[in-house]
Structure 1
Amino acid sequence: MTITLYGIKNCDTVKKARKWLEQHAIDYRFVDHRADGLDPVELARWLAVLGWEQLVNKRGTTYRALSDADKASLGPDTAAARLLSSPAMIKRPLLELDGQLHLGFNAELYSRLFNK
């Protein structure tokens, strides 16, 4: 089983997800978008699977700080470039479990995914 958790280490929701995984003795690899950067190929796959609307965190401060014009111009053709330049704008955490992608943290979902 291959488990990778993507996010930003100081994000409270990412902290909750990491704590849950550690409490359940689940080995995983953590990739910090901000510190480690984003792989454009991985990002393209996430966008293809999840769609830009789901991947963009519209509740976060990075998105809210955008001008109205920048928000209006965000779409399928511009999302990849915007997310590469502002990885904090990706909804998090993003859990990749055996090739399947799951956005956000929900203890019930994680319990189902890991049979805990």
Structure 2
Amino acid sequence: MTSGLPDWVTVLTAIFVLLGSILTLIGAVGLLRFNNFYARAHAPTLGTTLGIGCVLIASILYFSVLQSRPVFHEVLIMIFMMVTTPITLMLLVNAALHRNKDAGKDHKPFARTTD
């Protein structure tokens, strides 16, 4: 069954969806592989933001060509993700730092020591 789309749109959409899924998978693997909370919080944030961005670009392209008019609903989703994901990361890390300080672990997780 053909959708009536040009081949270049189909190929470009497939590339963006595949790239987005690979980036999200890398972020998920980073979540499993890293050894502490602070590193684990960072990998999925980057992978998810970039992965969702690629999938949303594919969606914009696909539906803009399919409907023969610009479709930008996904831009709102992209803006929301780009703003809220880093803020959520900072709030989670600050909460973890505060929890560690209250538990008596008064050290910075990635502090460099001067020797």
Q: TM-score, normalised by structure 1?
A: 0.29
Q: TM-score, normalised by structure 2?
A: 0.29
* Structure with more relative contact order (C-alpha pairs < 8 Å, separation 6 or more): 1
- Which of the two has higher C-alpha Rg? 2
User: More strand per residue: 1 or 2?
Assistant: 1
User: More helix per residue: 1 or 2?
Assistant: 2
